């Protein structure tokens, strides 16, 4: 019976220190950690953790939102853990799936987590629409490119007259000129 920790932050710039400290408090035996969005259920360390856990293990997470952002994904992960006989403990929500109440609360919090994500996306879309209406947002600016020069460089590279490295350096210089 192992204590397993799973840590996830959404971007490379975010820190995992707070979650690592929680895992130390639980005295986990092994930690799986990654810096990828929870919107994507196909994450390497999540898959590795799900392959690793065994009957009788306990999985510790800082929050259920670390496992997944959609109710469907989260419930699929929970089903996998249940099938393997693994207990889930969520620090933030104080959930322990060893109890019937913990299992019920997990489902409720999974739905709330998905609602939160969808609201954030909606607010973002609404904010962009307001900014567009006010002329403050015109979208992402296109990257200017000298297509003629690009075509020439590309042709030279295809003819093996220049190296790929030289081609890339020239492209970077060309883009920086704009």
Give the tens place of pLDDT for each residue, 22-53.
999 999 999 999 998 877 888 999 999 999 99
CA angle 2, 24, 105 (to 5 degrees): 70
The kind and range of the H/E element at 128 are helix 100-133
CA angle 48, 52, 56 (to 5 degrees): 145
* 9-20 pLDDT tens trace: 988 889 999 999
106 plus 57 within the same structural domain? yes
The whole-angstrom separation of Cα 59 and Cα 61 is 7
In sequence order, what are the residues at sequence separation of 6 or more whose Cβ sits closer than 8 angstroms to the Cβ of residue 5? Answer: 23, 26, 28, 30, 31, 32, 59, 60, 61
85 plus 159 within the same structural domain? no
Catalytic: which of 10, 33, 63, 70? 10
Whether 169 shows a pLDDT value over 80: the answer reads yes
Task: Answer yes or no: is 15 within a domain.
Answer: yes
Q: Using the 3D structure, point to which of 103, 118, 133 is the last residue of a domain.
A: 118
Q: Residues 81-86: what's their mean pLDDT? A: 92
Task: Answer yes or no: is 123 within a domain.
Answer: no
Domain count, the chain: 2
If phi over 0 gives left and psi between -120 and 50 gives alpha, with beta otherwise, what is residue 90? beta
The beta strand positions in 73-172, using DSSP E, are: 87-90, 95-96
**Which CATH number characterizes residue 109's domain?**
3.40.50.1390
Q: Residues 128-148: what's their mean pLDDT? A: 79
Domain residues for 151? 147-176
18 plus 61 within the same structural domain? yes
User: What are the φ/ψ torsions at residue 2 (nearest 5 degrees)?
Assistant: -100, 155
What six digits make up the tokens of 85?
């006989």
Q: What is the pTM of this model?
A: 0.62
Q: Is residue 10 among the annotated active site residues?
A: yes
DSSP for residue 32: E
CA angle 65, 95, 108 (to 5 degrees): 60
74 plus 156 within the same structural domain? no
The whole-angstrom separation of Cα 161 and Cα 118 is 51
């Amino acid at each position: 019976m192992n204590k397993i920790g799973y840590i996830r932050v959404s971007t490379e710039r975010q820190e995992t220190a707070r979650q690592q400290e929680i895992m130390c408090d639980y005295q986990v035996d092994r930690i799986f950690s990654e810096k990828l969005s929870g919107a994507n259920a196909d994450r390497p360390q999540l898959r590795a953790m799900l392959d690793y856990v065994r009957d009788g293990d306990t999985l510790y997470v800082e929050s259920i939102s670390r496992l997944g952002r959609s109710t469907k994904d989260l419930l699929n992960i929970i089903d996998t853990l249940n099938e393997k006989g693994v207990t889930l403990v969520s620090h933030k929500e104080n959930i322990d799936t060893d109890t019937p109440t913990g299992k019920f609360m997990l489902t409720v919090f999974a739905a709330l987590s998905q609602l939160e994500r969808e609201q954030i996306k909606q607010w973002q879309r609404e904010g962009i629409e307001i900014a567009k209406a006010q002329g403050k947002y015109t979208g992402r600016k296109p990257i200017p490119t000298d297509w003629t020069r690009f075509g020439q460089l590309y042709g030279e590279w295809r003819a093996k007259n220049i190296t790929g490295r030289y081609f890339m350096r020239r492209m970077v210089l060309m883009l920086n000129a704009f």
